[in-house]
Chains A and B, each alone.
Chain A
Amino acid sequence: MTTAASAAHLSPLPEQDGTAARARQVTKAYGAGETRVTALDAVDVDIERGRFTAIMGPSGSGKSTLMHCLAGLDTVSEGRIWIGDTEITGLRDKQLTKLRRDKIGFIFQAFNLLPTLNAVENITLPMDIAGRKPDQAWLQQVIDTVGLSDRLKHRPGQLSGGQQQRVAVARALAARPEIIFGDEPTGNLDSRSGAEVLGFLRRSVDELGQTIVMVTHDPVAAGHADRVLFLADGAIVDEMHNPTADSVLTRMRRFDGKRTS
């Protein structure tokens, strides 16, 4: 993994096999002139395939913006982004929608599920939308993995917060996307439920080979990742491999100190 600008941004190809998503010189700015605010400042990121990446940073560091741009939910001001070997910068809404549908899974902090659909309907929704039949064996495996077999016919309103997030995880996994983005997926959960959900994410990477990118401000959550990227003021300032909750916390403290100094 390298955060340095390489010659890669000059040519869209070749695609390295080990990269699920890439960003090159991505800048995101709001407003213009005097009032211009730069949320992302020439960021280069490579997300490795089959690994669990956490993006950390204080509020306003641009971590959510980075995720939204990587996932094709937001547009960039400058720079280029690839999901797999598809460049998404410059895609029209229709193609972006199709890309999100077919290649990306999402887990949001809250309001992940449609209240009118039951658990299994929510899980298969992306495939429904795409008009694809879910792979039943795979679906069963995912459902078993997140432990929802006995809750499939329940509506979200009848599930606890932890169960709802597990349904969201299952939905993200069921379509076998190239990459799953989580936006504070455990932010609204108590620590036990949160640990449970993070455990599933970890297992899906280890056992199912899934690629996951998760934005979080919780060092414990980041501790489950393979790698943590630290963002500050719209730029990647550091990264850590095989982190633990403690090491992340330490790094964050130093980070706070640096900021206040």
Chain B
Amino acid sequence: MLLKTSLRSFFAHKWRLVLSLLAVVLSVAFVAGTLVFYNTATSTFDKLFASTASDLAVSRAEDEIADGAPGRVPTIPVGTVAKVAAEPGVKAAIGQVMTSDATLVDPATNKVVGPTTGAPTLTGNWTDTPRNSVEITSGHAPQGADQLVLDADTAEKAHLGLGSKVRIITDANHDFTLSGIATFRTTNPGAALAFLDTATAQRVLLGTEAYTSVEVFGDGTRTNEQLKAAALADLGGDFQAKTAAEQKKENSDDVGSFLNFMKYAMLGFAVLAAGVGGFLIVNTFSMLVTQRTREIGLLRAIGGSRSQVNRSVLTEGLILGVLGSTLGIGAGLGLALGMIQLMKAVGMNLDASLEVTWTVPVVSYAVGVLVTLFAAFVPARRASRITPMAALLDHAAPVEPRANRIRTAVGSLVTAVGAVALVLAASSSGATGGLLIGLGVLATLVGAVVLGPLLVSGLLRLLGGALPALFGPAGRLAQRNVMRNPRRTGSTAAALMIGLAVVVGASVITSSMVSSATAQIEKSVGADYIVGGGRTPIPAAAAEAVERTPGVDHITRQKEVPAELTTPDGARTKTDLIAADPNFTRDFRLPVASGTAEGVFNGGLSVDQEFADAHHLKVGDPIAVAYGEGRTQTVPVAAVLATGNQLFDGSFFTGIGTVSTGLNGQLPGDSTLFAGASAGADEGAVLADLEKALESYPQLMVKDQAGYKDMIKSQVDQLLSMVYGLLGLTIVVAVLGVVNTLALSVIERTREIGLLRAIGLSRRQLRRVVRLESVVIALFGAVLGSALGLAWGVTARSVLADNGLNVLTVPTGTVVTVLVGSVVIGLFAALVPAFRAARMNVLAAIASD
């Protein structure tokens, strides 16, 4: 019986529930889409790894410290292949050369071939294994010193065909002719593959006759584990072996951590949008309950119990949630397809067949149904409190919420707690600061939501006079309508507030990041130019080209050397030492707290204050440095650096000479070059000359200080636009909320509108009333959101001051945009409701009940 009334009621009010449904559908679609996309991406990679992994891969044993040094390619002797091949149960053992440290370039355009970010460019030797990931579809395998095979996707993207020239840049440039095109057997997620013949690969990529691994394929008589045990027993401790399963897991973990991050970021924003959608649903159900007061009173009068009334409203919420989630899952599949297309556009190919696991419906329904049930809870409780008397009252006036005093008290308390937490956070740092700011953000958010309705009345009473003054009678009507139900206005605005608060908060932090970095560069960087980029060290020839450029006074080479430091207190710290020329002190002003900067680059080492404090270090204390593969050295602390500068915090500087001794002269290539212009040189002209000198190294990038600052800004901006993009959904749902509130209140006020029209309010004036209401709600949300966002951003900035965010920049432009934007949002949201209000038939409106 109850279900039937709920269903009837649900469908009777279907048009009033449309926007609520849409909000659920959107949020759930985002959740489902994210999950399906993640599953599909993971399975694409899994299939790739599963289909290409050998039964056993033998390579050089990992060195915990030395591995990961730029340009380092651990190799194994050629003889290993024969040794492994002789093992019982081995069908084939193939020596492989494979490195991701080479850059492919089209010499005709000097443009990089293959992906520049994300997926790797793998260069190696062409081998015939039982499980090749690619097959040659045109041309032939590489033979001789000048032939190269490229994968089809990469060749197509770079517009290369058979006979085209391809350059491989390692330490030097090597030119090849495209002799064949290879096509992936499975979906290629976006890596570029280039193959040379084995001898050439060894010469060009390794500089020695060796392999990077031996790929073993069994004959089926032994398990991979048995093969592994036998190989390791035979080869000894300098080698490691990974079974197919281990290779697959390792690869999947690499990809998985990136995809996981993306998944959780997107799910976080989807849940935020769902929460915002909750406000919309609360409003809808509250209005429906109010409109049905008499009906519910009648139900009670004829014997319906409170809990029945309560359940019937909740059941409607349940129907909404289930329906919305179901549609949302469908929309989510479409969204996942869209995301796959989007990834394709940025160079990541994924399987076109969607991977839908049981988690997709479970999580989607959980989000959709829980949000609607939670949102329907308060209206349902209010409905259950309607007395049978309501059926008899002629005009059941909406019950004024009596909880105002409690609301004020709770709201004020929570806001106060939040404010105190934020103030405390501002004067602390690190983990305490993080905890306090988390508490502060949460409490001020909840406080603002709870206090919203009171703030609406307060603010409108205070500033309300402006509306009639500016917009005449329409202004007054709008003002009164907005104030009529502060709770509704408050929650509609709160929905918008949440998204905009995050926008403003994120923008405060990012603009402070940019201005802090800029200030630090100005304060500490003397170098005029910086050369870097690529995933490989800077070729020696490129460094020489920079040094030879006219107008360049000096260059400073900087290398990154992985090492493990052991302080006198016995603690070990793994880090990348930053080794540079003594020239470094000309290009950078190190914030030396004690000791000398010169000492750092002449036989010493620098630590930052925090590290010094943690390990009770002072200038002169010895630090044991291990470089891996048994190479060690003791270096004294030559300087302690003050913290508070992103450029230097957490870094350990030392001289190239020092490191060279420690590494027995096996120095890695340069990771970054700095250059200073000669006195009197035209800095712009020198930059142009440098760009020209580095033309044939498209993987490298040369920037002057201004360009470097721009680059930092654009990187930060990219991050910010990602956040904005993800917040888009939340804001869309919030705008739907404004439309919903307006549309429902127009329906609710049908008779009033009829009366107004009868006594002479023109359609245009009526539209203006609705528009003004909408703008007031949106603007109110934007003002609250900006205030919250500023409070959060400013506090977070000061918590992070010790981490280098020492300059606060308030993005006035963003705040103004948010405020102006909210007016536009308000006008937009009012379009349909205003149109519908104006189109209402006057007579029908007057006669309506």
B242-250, B471-479, B542-550, B676-684 - the one binding chain A: B471-479
CA distance A131 to B472 in the complex (A): 8
CA distance A100 to B481 in the complex (A): 24
Where chain B touches its partner, the secondary structure class is helix
**What sequence of 0s and 1s flags, for each residue 441-480 of chain B, a beta carbon within 8 Å of any chain A beta carbon?**
0000000000000000000000000000000110011001
Contact A97 B843, beta carbon cutoff 8 Å: no
Known A108-B846, A157-B397; contact A114-B760, beta-carbon cutoff 8 A: no
A120-128, A213-221, A235-243 - the one binding chain B: A120-128
CB contact list, B389-446 vs A, under 8 A: 397
Contact A108 B763, beta carbon cutoff 8 Å: no
A93: which B residues are within 8 A, CB to CB? 763
The total of chain B residues at the interface (CB under 8 A) is 24
**What sequence of 0s and 1s flags, for each residue 105-128 of chain A, a beta carbon within 8 Å of any chain B beta carbon?**
110100111111100010001101
User: Chain A nearest CB: distance from B396 CB in Å?
Assistant: 12
B258-266, B599-607, B718-726, B750-758 - the one binding chain A: B750-758
Known A112-B755, A116-B477, A116-B481; contact A68-B843, beta-carbon cutoff 8 A: yes
What residue in chain A is nearest B760 (Cβ atoms)? A101
Contact B480 A116, beta carbon cutoff 8 Å: yes
CB contact list, A74-118 vs B, under 8 A: 74, 93-94, 97-98, 100-102, 104-106, 108, 111-117
Determine if B762 is an interface residue (Cβ-Cβ < 8 Å). Answer: yes
Determine if B842 is an interface residue (Cβ-Cβ < 8 Å). Answer: yes
Q: Which of A68, A74, A125, A131 contacts B759 (CB 8 A)?
A: A125
Of the four ranges (under 10, 10 to 19, 20 to 34, 35 or more), the interface on chain A belongs to 20 to 34
Contact A106 B763, beta carbon cutoff 8 Å: no
CA distance A216 to B615 in the complex (A): 97
CA distance A105 to B480 in the complex (A): 23
Contact A98 B760, beta carbon cutoff 8 Å: yes
CB contact list, A48-87 vs B, under 8 A: 68, 71, 73-74
Contact B473 A129, beta carbon cutoff 8 Å: yes
Determine if B705 is an interface residue (Cβ-Cβ < 8 Å). Answer: no
Q: Which of A111, A115, A116, A130 contacts B760 (CB 8 A)?
A: A130
CA distance A22 to B588 in the complex (A): 95
Q: Which of B477, B763, B843 contacts A114 (CB 8 A)?
A: B477
Determine if B343 is an interface residue (Cβ-Cβ < 8 Å). Answer: no
CA distance A29 to B765 in the complex (A): 31
**What sequence of 0s and 1s flags, for each residue 41-56 of chain B, a beta carbon within 8 Å of any chain A beta carbon?**
0000000000000000
**What sequence of 0s and 1s flags, for each residue 836-849 of chain B, a beta carbon within 8 Å of any chain A beta carbon?**
00000011001000
What residue in chain B is nearest A128 (Cβ atoms)? B473
Contact A126 B760, beta carbon cutoff 8 Å: yes
Contact A129 B759, beta carbon cutoff 8 Å: yes
Q: Which of A71, A97, A126, A128 contacts B476 (CB 8 A)?
A: A128
CA distance A73 to B483 in the complex (A): 30
Known A73-B842, A73-B843, A157-B397; contact A101-B759, beta-carbon cutoff 8 A: yes
A104: which B residues are within 8 A, CB to CB? 760
A108: which B residues are within 8 A, CB to CB? 755, 758, 846
User: Chain A nearest CB: distance from B378 CB in Å?
Assistant: 24
What residue in chain B is nearest A130 (Cβ atoms)? B760
User: Chain A nearest CB: distance from B374 CB in Å?
Assistant: 31
Determine if B484 is an interface residue (Cβ-Cβ < 8 Å). Answer: yes
Determine if B235 is an interface residue (Cβ-Cβ < 8 Å). Answer: no
What residue in chain A is nearest B751 (Cβ atoms)? A111
B477: which A residues are within 8 A, CB to CB? 114, 116-117
User: Chain B nearest CB: distance from A172 CB in Å?
Assistant: 9
Contact B763 A126, beta carbon cutoff 8 Å: no
B480: which A residues are within 8 A, CB to CB? 114, 116-117
Determine if B119 is an interface residue (Cβ-Cβ < 8 Å). Answer: no
Using a CB–CB cutoff of 8 Å, the interface residues on chain A facing chain B are 68, 71, 73-74, 93-94, 97-98, 100-102, 104-106, 108, 111-117, 121, 125-126, 128-131, 157, 171
Nearest 5 Cβ contacts at the A-B interface: A101-B760, A116-B480, A128-B473, A100-B760, A97-B762
Q: Given contacts A104-B760, A116-B477, A117-B480, could you give 18 more A-B pairs where the C-beta distance is less than 8 Å?
A: A68-B843, A73-B846, A97-B760, A97-B761, A100-B758, A100-B759, A100-B760, A106-B758, A108-B846, A111-B755, A114-B752, A115-B484, A116-B483, A126-B759, A129-B759, A129-B760, A130-B760, A171-B759
